[in-house]
Amino acid sequence: MNEIAHVGAAGETRPLLYVVATPIGNLADITLRALDVLKRVDVIAAEDTRVTTHLLRHYGIATRLLALHEHNERHAAQKLIDLLAAGKSVALVSDAGTPAISDPGALAVAAVRDAGYPVVALPGANAALCALAAAGSAAPHFLFFGFLPQQAAARRRELESLKALPYLLVFYEAPHRVDESIADMAGVFGAGRGVVIARELTKMFESIHRCTLGEAAAWFAADANRMRGEFVLLVDAAEPADTANDEAAVRTLEILLRELPLKQAVQLAVEISGGARNTLYRRALELKKSGALPDAE
């Protein structure tokens, strides 16, 4: 066994499974520690050995590879356990980014832990965190969803369940479905909700575009290249209370508008209902315009 005492827990000399993050595009996005581990372990379990061979060649690493992907993960996990039992150390990588994040790996990690062997994760590239870091969103919380269902009805059902959550939503999407998914998001969340389209992160044609869900189709249509590549979508959180649909908040607003000037009515409605000012203000203007209310100003 190549002993890698310094990369595990302090003083660690037992065989370990290392879960190693690899680049999501730019081959330079790999840590020194990851390269050291990949060089020194006995075997690397890889999602696609051809993809990992490309990375290893780039860094002059010749470690033996073993395939571990979604179709053989259980069987391959047992192979990892056998290797660990024989005193070998093993690294686990996926094609890109952090294993087990919308990628195979979790099942193997659980099996190795259950078999009593330690697992050490080496942090590194991850598309969701890369997009979040570049987007400049002030949202304090986010929900990582990963891939939506491919089938339209199931996808819309899933979106309905996410619609009112007060968290920035993080999705992975394939290029051939990104327009459909965004159209469904606009239908379910409303065309006015903001989205950041993070494309080809760390690569030559990286782009980060912010618009509303309703505007995204036109942005894609303006340049066919914008549909190419890999995507992370960051969708703004639902407003604190979706007051447009909150009957109590709107009722309060209506009563206040009968007696008070618009701005004051909106201010009080916000304080009473806890609803979003923009939404209530918009609603107040609509009510005024419709002529449904007497003019209090």
Alpha-carbon distance of 130 to 8, in angstroms, equals 26
Q: 195's torsion region: left (phi>0), alpha (psi -120 to 50) or beta?
A: beta
Nearer of residues 95 and 246 to ligand SAM, judged by Cβ: 95
Q: Under a CB-based contact definition with an 8 Å cutoff, are residues 202 and 125 in contact?
A: yes
| Residue 241 CB, nearest approach to ligand SAM (Å) | 31
Return residues touching ligand SAM (CB under 6 A).
Answer: 24-25, 94, 96-98, 101-103, 126-128, 172-174, 198, 200-203, 230-232
| Residue 41 CB, nearest approach to ligand SAM (Å) | 20
Alpha-carbon distance of 88 to 134, in angstroms, equals 39
| Residue 105 CB, nearest approach to ligand SAM (Å) | 8
| Residue 174 CB, nearest approach to ligand SAM (Å) | 5
Nearer of residues 19 and 262 to ligand SAM, judged by Cβ: 19
In 154-203, which ranges are E strands? 168-173, 194-199
Nearer of residues 173 and 184 to ligand SAM, judged by Cβ: 173
Nearer of residues 3 and 103 to ligand SAM, judged by Cβ: 103
Nearer of residues 84 and 93 to ligand SAM, judged by Cβ: 93
Nearer of residues 144 and 167 to ligand SAM, judged by Cβ: 144
Nearer of residues 15 and 25 to ligand SAM, judged by Cβ: 25
Alpha-carbon distance of 208 to 230, in angstroms, equals 12
| Residue 81 CB, nearest approach to ligand SAM (Å) | 23
**Closest residue to ligand SAM: CB criterion:** 97
| Residue 51 CB, nearest approach to ligand SAM (Å) | 11
User: How far is the first Cα of the chain from the last one, in angstroms, to the nearest whole number?
Assistant: 83
Structure tokens of 212?
A: 């509303």
Residue among 234, 230, 232, 197 nearest 26 (CA)? 230
| Residue 4 CB, nearest approach to ligand SAM (Å) | 23
Alpha-carbon distance of 193 to 166, in angstroms, equals 13
Alpha-carbon distance of 285 to 48, in angstroms, equals 57
The single residue listed with the structure tokens 């009473």 is 272
CB neighbour class for 263 (10 Å; exposed up to 12, middle 13-18, buried from 19) = exposed
